Structure 1
Amino acid sequence: MEKMTSWHNTNLRWFVLVLIGVYPLVQFLIGEYPALLGEQIKSYFDVSQAEINYLLTFRSFPNMIMSLIGGLIIDTFGVRRSYVFFGSIVIIGQLLCFVSVIYKHFIWMVIGRFIFGSFESSGFVAESYYINKWFQGKENSLAFGIDTAICRLGSIGAAIIYPYLYQSSNNDLSQCLLICLLIAIISFLIIIILTQIDRCSDIRDKTTDQKLDSVDLRQIRNFSLEFYITLITCVTCYSVFFIFSYNSVEMFKQIYKLNQNVANTIFSIPYYLSAILSPIIGHYVDKKGQNIEILCTASCCQLLAMTIFYSMPECDTESITIPFLGNILNGFFFGTYYAVMWPHIPLIVPSHMVGTGFGLTFSSINIEITIFSFIVSNMLQIENYDNYQQMNYLLLILSLIGFIPLVFLFKNHRTQYHKHIQTQNDDDETTNQIELIVKSKST
């Protein structure tokens, strides 16, 4: 009976992980449409690439604060109530985006993206909280890796679905947005199922949804220096990836003369690689550790990718090699970085403030994305090679800034490791001396 219960609990946890992965899968599936349908949106609303970037900016802007507030909401009211609330807000935002196409008012789409983004990242905080709750110890990184693989399917699916749906519906943009709305509703229903399973599990284990006694932002001061250094590299590297990804399809068409289908395919390469690599890297970290070393390697891949894109000249004819190679490197970055970074955060924050730690991280990511996507949108008022190179130069500098803190953390961890080894050697030497003294007295 005990073995049957253990088998049941194990299978339930992996089923819960699949349900947890549905939320980020859906967010990437319905969140990527401005990047993949940028040309169609520009034509339909008669706007420029700068306005397309506003759809990213206004998606990220509210999360500069709301992700942190979302983490505090989770720690205060519990993860279940919070998750349901976050999912309902996403539906409202996506509904406005759909209505904007029906009535052909671009400003409504911007407002819809603002509402959509208000608690979107808070949902990611809740998702990360759930993974950390259900998968602790040596399965944590593997669970984050599998979750990454699931949600990457959203971006892969988006790159396939939206161009096909747009063409098959006689260039009807509203059909794409209607599908987004329906997917958001399905996601909300999955959240309901997940929270009920979690509630029943707590009842069975005679535990309650962990909550803070009171909300006090001053508790953030209890976070370690390592957390804030990690925060710098995390937010910078993620900002580089998402800002580049958001503008990559149009850049590939402009600079490398690729058609829409090829550009969409290359856009999805990092997500394919991430889906494959994340579970593998997560399992390796659970077994071997080496978190910082892997993060350094991932950041190096991003730095090299941005260097390649900045260094290459404009092409006169179609050229696939550079975008293909650069996005493979971006895929290695994304597939390893996510699987290692997010399980690392609960290790460096107080156990009762995990939600706040995730919230502060997501909030900081959105602050940087908002600021620099606004800068990039101004750079791309006119789409040409020089302006895209300005964008690439900015992202190259940011990727370097993201890499430097990892070097500091690597050196710090190596120093602590050697100190630990030295302490163990000293303890062993002291133990040996005591044993020799005892033996000498006994003789």
Structure 2
Amino acid sequence: MEEYDDREALLPGASGSPERPKMSAISDPNRLAHRIVVLCLMCFLGFGSYFCYDNPAALQTQVQLDMKVNTASFMQLYAFYSWPNVILCFFGGFLIDRVFGIRWGTIIFSLFVCVGQVIFAAGALFNAFWLMEAGRLVFGIGGESLAVAQNTYAVSWFKGKELNLVFGLQLSMARVGSTVNMNVMGLVYSRVKDLIGTTGHSTLGVTLMIGGITCLLSLVCAFVLGYLDRRAEKILNKEQGKTGEVIKLTDVKDFSLSLWLIFLVCVCYYVAVFPFIGLGKVFFIEKFNFSPVQAGAINSVVYIISAPLSPVFGFMVDRIGKNILWVMFAVVATLGAHIMLAFTFWNPWIAMSLLGVSYSLLACALWPMVAFVVPEHQLGTAYGFMQSIQNLGLAIIAIVSGIILDTSGYLFLEVFFSACLCLAIIAVVMLYFVNLIRGGDLNLSSWERARLQKEAEHEAQRERMRRDSIIWTAFAVRVRYLSRLGAQIPKHFISHQLSLSHRSVLK
């Protein structure tokens, strides 16, 4: 009894134990003001990565002229970013959970981003394009895994509170980073050129080094977040965040046809968006006679629209359902945008605005569908495989796009992107009929899904009642058998039998 009292006295808030000192709202991990500070750090954690990812697109003309490379070589800068993520998509969550931990994992991946950007800029300074490619490879190792760490922090701090809003704000900040890059890097290059007095690889290298300052900002956020998370762990006795991803490659053999069709839609759609943005600035300059500043602005329209619309579309799809129809609308609208850009001279703001809307809608409708066709224990493998295939497709199509542009021009490149989107439409139609034939819930409305969920809960409750009934029956038969043999039945056997009977009646 004394030992129990001693243990109780050590509990927080118990009499005789030192109480936690009162803290201001901004320093108390339990208070909203402190979580807002953490949220700001989380948002800026990925800002540098997204800002520098599209540095090549914002400076396409300058890179090709200063480094004296053709478009196929230029697109290698995007391919080298994607190659490591073909594999790392499976192991990023494992490294964070089991090897580094969320705090050190975030710092390490932020360092990869910083070092990669420095090597990328150094390659331009020393006029070594192969070094620029190596920098993009190192940058890619940290970029995607840093996004996993960012989401893990969000779940650790905001699960059960404002998590959906937090994910929406993080996505919006990522789009802001891409937008600022498209509209600022060209101006930075011009200012550096004025200071140096000439163009060339040195001007490009200095410009990229200046862009790398955003990566340093993200690294500082990683250190501060690690400190605040460690402090909250001590104050609140909370555990470090976990990604929750369990990757088992053997699960691939159990993937359904519906899931493979979702993978196909993902690859065929995104290869018609990201490589186009990577090459879009020169396209708008050559076809529509835009100035570099105007071309950079219109090339960033997709990201500008995605920033505010992604949370709105996510809420809308959650409320309405019908995911397959939304995906079909998004793919067809994107195809229409590419056709307008390829075969008309209409104001490109129309096509790019349509592309921005459809891109935002597809992301909100396509990625959640994986959870509808895969058991919970296979979700980590499914999403890892989806990201792996997406990065493999982006790496290959980036190279193919550059070759097509060098040999045939932008018209044939747009026809190629349109063909990829037609393949995506075929995959969506097949997905619709496969889902219809197999009675899947990919295209159900939200209220139909809610009804099915309630029915599943009732069925699970009936299954628990049936299982308890079987346990009680088996126990009663055993007691009756022992009684007939003349065995002495302990009293707690009888009380246990009565409690089982009472519990089965309550259920």
State the TM-score, normalized to the length of structure 2: 0.71
Alpha-carbon distance in 1 for matches of 2:255, 2:157: 23
Distance 1:15 1:423, change over 3 A: closer
Q: Deviations for 1:92-114, whole angstroms, at most 9, x for unmatched residues?
A: 21111111121111111011111
Equivalent in the alignment of 1:252: 284
1:88 maps to 2:120: no
Quote the offset at 1:14 in angstroms: 4.2
1:11-410 counterparts in 2 under 5 A? 11-77=33-99, 78-136=101-159, 139-170=162-193, 171=199, 172-203=203-234, 204-210=236-242, 216-219=248-251, 227-285=259-317, 291-310=323-342, 312-313=343-344, 319=345, 321-341=346-366, 357-382=382-407, 384-400=409-425, 403-404=428-429, 407=432
Distance 1:232 1:214, change over 3 A: closer
Which residues of structure 1 form unaligned runs of 5+? 314-318, 428-443
- The amino acid across from 1:186 in the alignment is L
Distance 1:358 1:43, change over 3 A: same
Equivalent in the alignment of 2:441: 413
Quote the offset at 1:348 in angstroms: 6.3
Distance 1:336 1:17, change over 3 A: farther
Alpha-carbon distance in 2 for matches of 1:124, 1:181: 18
Alpha-carbon distance in 2 for matches of 1:403, 1:123: 31
Distance 1:268 1:364, change over 3 A: same
Quote the offset at 1:61 in angstroms: 1.5
Q: Deviations for 1:43-91, whole angstroms, at most 9, x for unmatched residues?
A: 1111111111111111111211122221332343343332222111112
Q: Deviations for 1:12-37, whole angstroms, at most 9, x for unmatched residues?
A: 44443332222332222111111111
Q: Deviations for 1:165-204, whole angstroms, at most 9, x for unmatched residues?
A: 1111124222321112222122112122223333444441
Provide the secondary structure at the position in 1 that maps to 2:441: helix
Provide the secondary structure at the position in 1 that maps to 2:290: coil
Provide the secondary structure at the position in 2 that maps to 1:258: coil
Based on CA coordinates, which of the two structures has the bigger radius of gyration? 2
Confirm or deny: 8 A CA contact 1:16 1:194 kept in the other structure.
yes
Distance 1:353 1:70, change over 3 A: farther
Quote the offset at 1:342 in angstroms: 5.2
Distance 1:71 1:285, change over 3 A: same
Provide the secondary structure at the position in 2 that maps to 1:80: helix
- The amino acid across from 2:284 in the alignment is F
Alpha-carbon distance in 2 for matches of 1:34, 1:101: 12
Larger displacement relative to structure 2 (408-417 or 299-308): 408-417
Confirm or deny: 8 A CA contact 2:272 2:417 kept in the other structure.
no
Distance 1:108 1:7, change over 3 A: closer
Distance 1:82 1:239, change over 3 A: farther
Alpha-carbon distance in 2 for matches of 1:74, 1:423: 33
Alpha-carbon distance in 2 for matches of 1:12, 1:111: 39
Alpha-carbon distance in 1 for matches of 2:329, 2:320: 16
Provide the secondary structure at the position in 1 that maps to 2:46: helix
Quote the offset at 1:287 in angstroms: 5.4
Alpha-carbon distance in 2 for matches of 1:104, 1:356: 41
Distance 1:419 1:271, change over 3 A: closer
Confirm or deny: 8 A CA contact 2:48 2:212 kept in the other structure.
no
Confirm or deny: 8 A CA contact 2:325 2:443 kept in the other structure.
no
Larger displacement relative to structure 2 (413-422 or 157-166): 413-422
Provide the secondary structure at the position in 1 that maps to 2:271: helix
Higher relative contact order (CA 8 A, sep 6+): 1
Aligned residues: 417
Quote the offset at 1:328 in angstroms: 0.6
Percent identity reads 25
User: Cα RMSD (Å) of the superposition?
Assistant: 3.6
State the TM-score, normalized to the length of structure 1: 0.80
Larger displacement relative to structure 2 (112-121 or 254-263): 254-263
Q: Deviations for 1:324-381, whole angstroms, at most 9, x for unmatched residues?
A: 1111111102333334555665676666776655443332211110111121122122
Distance 1:44 1:79, change over 3 A: same
Alpha-carbon distance in 1 for matches of 2:43, 2:275: 23
Distance 1:228 1:372, change over 3 A: same
Q: Deviations for 1:186-240, whole angstroms, at most 9, x for unmatched residues?
A: 2112122223333444441533444889975335567676655433333332232
Larger displacement relative to structure 2 (156-165 or 136-145): 136-145
Confirm or deny: 8 A CA contact 2:111 2:142 kept in the other structure.
no
- The amino acid across from 2:229 in the alignment is D
Alpha-carbon distance in 2 for matches of 1:201, 1:340: 35
Alpha-carbon distance in 1 for matches of 2:183, 2:176: 10
Confirm or deny: 8 A CA contact 1:141 1:339 kept in the other structure.
no
Instruction: Name the structure where helix makes up a greater proportion of residues.
Output: 1
Alpha-carbon distance in 2 for matches of 1:69, 1:94: 22
